[in-house]
Amino acid sequence: MKTYLVGGAVRDGLLGRPVSDRDYVVVGASPDELLALGFKQVGASFPVFLHPETQEEYALARTERKTGDGYHGFKAYFGEDVSLEEDLKRRDLTINAMAQDLETGEIIDPYGGQKDLKDGVLRHVSEAFAEDPLRVLRVARFAAKLSFGVHWSTIKLMSTLVKNGEMKHLTKERVWKELERGLAEDRVDLLFITLFACGALEEFTPFKYAFSNQQNYWRTSSPLVKFLLAVGDEDVEVLDEWKIPSAYRNAVQALNHTEGALRHYARATPEERIKVISTLYADGFDKHGVLEYVMIGGEYVCNPFRVFEDYRKLKALDLAAVSKQAKDKNEDIKTAVLQAKIAALS
Ligand code: CTP
């Protein structure tokens, strides 16, 4: 029998965030063995045990199969032969599917959670994500909590769940509990944006004004964004051949120029980030619609919110004062401005 720390405690520990709840998973043990050690069993559909002293939760490693609609349509299997990797695989997101060996401190990360943490990406572990529609709301909540982007493949899977009517099987209490937690996060905009991006926002009628007038992005996005959704990163030469108007052509060009940097935005240098922002933003406005496109339809990883965060930092700079100071000191103004911008993003 071996015990590992799992889930949110490992994630938040790696992020250097305060850890509130600690969940443990026990591999290679039976309920009787834990009861004999003084653990107290709770939970009906699968056994969870409370530690005799700390009262922390210990669950037997398990696999889960969906057998019907909604939350109760599960069949849990928690034989002693269930491995740690199998238990981690049934979890929602890669960043939540890591474990820590309590003896050695080693992080067990079979699904790339550490990389996604570094890149700021929420990505489902496997198709088993679909087994619990509440996860659609969890993803939105984690986007708001961590200021992370959602991988396009996960948005796609979430959209399928919504389209198949899975959200309707959740009780209003569970939905509200999750949304209320999301509302408490700083970046509540990301909660709404994520729900909107997968079509789930409409499921929650109380939020009908969160994005007024937007039923779905094909109908309501700007023509530029719809165009980007349709053509993606097409060669601009092709657009020229078709005599596509410059606003549309420029949007595609802006996408082409920023795509690489956007993909690696979390790891981009301040200089690269400044370039991205100057290409995409004008007066707080996503002038080419590239960020909106990336958010709702781009087929690569990006975190548009970090871009906006950087934009706000750059906008807050008093560049007139920087220029004046450089001029007074007989320094090169362009260099001084660039240095101030780099410092703001460092
Ligand atoms: N989990 C899951 N699917 C769910 C709920 C939970 O896969 N619908 C798994 C995840 O591995 C998660 C762990 O169970 O990390 C613990 O869940 P919970 O305590 O609800 O969330 P945390 O991830 O700990 O995050 P937070 O503290 O923000 O609630």
For the Cβ of 94 lying below 6 angstroms from any atom of ligand 1, the answer is no
CA of 235 to the centre of ligand 1 (A): 43
For the Cβ of 92 lying below 6 angstroms from any atom of ligand 1, the answer is yes
For the Cβ of 141 lying below 6 angstroms from any atom of ligand 1, the answer is no
Give pLDDT tens digits for 63-99: 976 666 555 566 788 889 999 999 999 999 999 999 9
CA of 96 to the centre of ligand 1 (A): 7
Q: pLDDT digit of tens for each residue in the chain (346 aa)?
A: 999 999 999 999 999 999 989 999 999 999 999 999 999 999 777 789 999 999 999 999 999 766 665 555 667 888 899 999 999 999 999 999 999 999 999 999 999 999 999 999 999 999 999 999 999 999 999 998 999 999 989 999 999 999 999 999 998 889 888 988 887 787 777 888 898 888 898 887 666 556 543 434 554 356 777 777 777 778 888 888 888 888 889 999 999 999 888 888 888 999 999 999 999 988 777 888 888 777 665 445 567 778 888 998 999 999 999 999 999 999 999 999 999 999 999 9
For the Cβ of 138 lying below 6 angstroms from any atom of ligand 1, the answer is yes
CA of 180 to the centre of ligand 1 (A): 16
How far, in Å, CA of 207 to CA of 210, rounded? 5
Token pair of 247, please? 């606003």
For the Cβ of 133 lying below 6 angstroms from any atom of ligand 1, the answer is no
Pocket test for ligand 1, best of 11, 92, 117 (most atoms within 8 A of CB): 92
- pLDDT value at residue 129: 96
Atom of ligand 1 nearest to the CA of 145: 28
- pLDDT value at residue 214: 40
Give pLDDT tens digits for 235-251: 888 888 888 888 889 99
- pLDDT value at residue 309: 84
For the Cβ of 57 lying below 6 angstroms from any atom of ligand 1, the answer is no
Atom of ligand 1 nearest to the CA of 134: 8
For the Cβ of 271 lying below 6 angstroms from any atom of ligand 1, the answer is no
Query: What pTM did the predictor assign?
Result: 0.66
* Closest CA to ligand 1's atom 14: 7
Within the chain, what is the greatest distance between any pair of CA atoms? Answer: 80
CA of 104 to the centre of ligand 1 (A): 23
